[in-house]
Structure 1
Amino acid sequence: MTELATLTVNPTIDVAFEVDRVLPTHKIRGRDERHDPGGGGINVARVFSRLGGAARCFYLAGGATGSTLDSLVDREGIDRVRIAIAGETRIAMAVREKDSGLQYRLVADGPQISAAEWQECLDHLAGTDFEYLVASGSLTHGLPDDFYDRVADMVVKRGKRMVLDSSGRGLAGGMAGGKVFLVKPSLGELRSLVGERLESEAEITEAARSLVADGACENMAVTLGEDGALLVAGNTVLRLPAVTVPALSAVGSGDSFVGAMVFRLARGHAIEDAFRFGIAAGAAAVLTPGTDLARADDIHRLFKEACQT
């Protein structure tokens, strides 16, 4: 049986390179170009697999770019199920400007998904055995607001656990039925969800606690960027600082957090331990350039260091 299934309804081909300086209208030459399979669920599966777990990723992809995405996922050695769509899979770019050290990220909306296409996706998931399912990423055009709730309903009926990492209508709709085991919003996503500014730590904690107490989800891990993360698990609240590392790229930090946290959960560890492991993975992702993700050796090293402090 597969430990982890991941779902990516709006994947990307991630392209990253470095330039000396970003200027309008000029042809700017890049270097150190790399191409990676992207999108939340695919990234989670990549990290989970790097840690030694068995993952299968499901994604909707189409066109010539969809075929390219297949080859990039195959390069990672991850078991995959592609649900074919008529639209073209999008391309995302991360450009690092050497002069300033700033990173520019350009991401397209994504294709239109038909009802027949997203229903086929649900059918594929229904026929797969897993312990955890991670649904990660935004909802693209054509998907209903309650799409992730439909996925959660299927997961819960089979006695399995679902993890949700989305934004906007995907996050709100996915939590509407109260069936999700773990939700991982960023601070910005939590603010949008509750419609409040949440400027103090007390306000952030109370917002997360209220959602858990009201049954919107069983557990919530809020990532706070350089300020660390917050876990609300039942009556337990755990607030931990970030692991300080030299930053090369922020791409994939949240996905690395989720992949590592679920890996630890799937191996039977307590949720507080898995949360710490996720924080280490988020920091490990920052160490890697461009669109690369957290590496297993870095995750274990930073986790050990964090536990000793």
Structure 2
Amino acid sequence: MPVLPTILTVTLNPTVDISLEVDRLIGEGKNRARVRSVQGGGGGINVARCVRTLGGSAVALHTCGLEVGRRLDRLLDEEGLAHRGIEIGSDTREAVVVAEAHSGHSYHIVPPGAELTIPEWQRCAEAIVTAAQRFPYLVLTGSVPPGLPDDFCAEILRRIDPAETRTVLDIAGAQLRAVLEKTAFAIRLDRREAAGLLGRPIERFADAQDANELVLGKGSVANAITTVGALGAVCSNSISHHRLSAPRLPHLPCSSDACAGDSLVGAFTYQLAAGADCLHACEYGVAAAAATVMRPGTDIFERSTVETLLCEVRTHTVDRTVTPAAASADSFQQN
């Protein structure tokens, strides 16, 4: 009997991701490249791919436009990823990842995407709200295309019953600031967005803890997760801050963080849908992000690697009544 999908992901600004590899990037002449992969991408599509890799079931709702949009649909069909497209009148964007074998660095080049007209984004909103009623979990993630009002995601949250559908957010900029006082089950912040909210860089667990305090202080978000690069992440709720130390990884050539955040969100939501508590789900997400960093381009983790790395994730819990300075002094080795 097929597994019924429990997770709906939304990608308002998807891509066709073209992953290339060169021996060494040079500033003159042509850089001869090897094509590693061509696949559908964008936050929600990547999250759905992660859920499926872990054995779960998700449906990716996404915009698609003109020739590139048709290519996106074909790529997702060939991959066997459950998806549904919302037609728009402009081409879906294409993005390029260039991995340099010599240095092990990857460069992710992403255009802004097609601007949505008012009727198009209104149609997207209706499609999201209608579809979400059939799913226990909704993941709103990834960049948004030009033309969307700043409160687009906030309006989606206002129209969704949180008792019926848990919402996991991984959004940025004006969209993020507009949702902070709306009801959501969880928000994930990367270092850049957290730094923008906090007004200083996110370099230590204590910084991420402060960012989570700011989000939780708005009173409507149940769980806040801020990542701290290779250190790991802090997962916070109304009672505690959990500092999750990521596993130490060997250096591998052509590693990439292009899908690390999506991997965390995908694994986190997969575990929630499977009945795990938020802390265990986040630990699993940190392991998944680490496993993805070991992969080139936009490749995501292998499930076996996630299971292995999960044993190496270390969690230190700090009561929310403890000040960040005191917590830092108590666990300075983790900073």
Equivalence for 1:131: 136
Distance 1:199 1:28 in 2: 35
CA contact (8 A) 2:208 2:227 kept: no
Cα displacement (A) at 1:199: 5.1
In structure 2, relative to structure 1, the CA distance for the partners of 1:198 and 1:131 (3 Å cut) is same
Equivalence for 1:235: 239
| 1:271 corresponds to 2:275 | no
Cα displacement (A) at 1:159: 2.4
CA contact (8 A) 1:89 1:110 kept: yes
TM-score computed with the length of structure 1 as normaliser? 0.94
**Of 143, 149, 167, the match for 1:144:** 149
Superposed counterparts of 1:4-153, under 5 Å: 4-128=7-131, 129-153=134-158
In structure 2, relative to structure 1, the CA distance for the partners of 1:32 and 1:141 (3 Å cut) is closer
In structure 2, relative to structure 1, the CA distance for the partners of 1:22 and 1:7 (3 Å cut) is same
CA contact (8 A) 1:19 1:28 kept: yes
Equivalence for 2:215: 211
Equivalence for 2:174: 169
**Per-residue displacement from partner, 1:14-65 (whole Å, max 9, x unpaired)?**
1111112212342111114211211001000000011111111111120211
CA contact (8 A) 1:19 1:98 kept: yes
Cα displacement (A) at 1:223: 1.1
Distance 1:284 1:204 in 2: 22
Equivalence for 2:182: 178
TM-score computed with the length of structure 2 as normaliser? 0.87
Distance 2:147 2:183 in 1: 23
Cα displacement (A) at 1:197: 3.7
Equivalence for 2:260: 253
Q: Aligned with 2:149: secondary structure? A: coil
- Return 5+ residue gaps in structure 2 as ranges: 316-335
Single out whichever of 4-13 and 292-301 deviates more from structure 2: 292-301
Equivalence for 1:296: 303
Single out whichever of 110-119 and 25-34 deviates more from structure 2: 25-34
Single out whichever of 27-36 and 39-48 deviates more from structure 2: 27-36
Distance 1:85 1:98 in 2: 37
In structure 2, relative to structure 1, the CA distance for the partners of 1:27 and 1:198 (3 Å cut) is closer
Q: Which amino acid aligns with 2:129?
A: A
Q: Percent identity?
A: 35
Q: Which amino acid aligns with 1:116?
A: P
Single out whichever of 156-165 and 144-153 deviates more from structure 2: 156-165
Cα displacement (A) at 1:198: 4.9
Q: Aligned with 1:2: secondary structure? A: coil
Equivalence for 2:321: none
- Return 5+ residue gaps in structure 1 as ranges: none
Q: Aligned with 1:202: secondary structure? A: helix
CA contact (8 A) 1:4 1:131 kept: yes
Q: Which amino acid aligns with 1:115?
A: I
**Per-residue displacement from partner, 1:87-121 (whole Å, max 9, x unpaired)?**
11111111111222221221101110011111112
Task: Count residues with an aligned counterpart.
Answer: 307
CA contact (8 A) 1:48 1:260 kept: yes
Q: After TM superposition, what 4+ stretches of structure 1 lie above 2 angstroms from structure 2? A: 125-128, 154-159, 193-204, 304-308
**Of 202, 211, 214, the match for 2:206:** 202
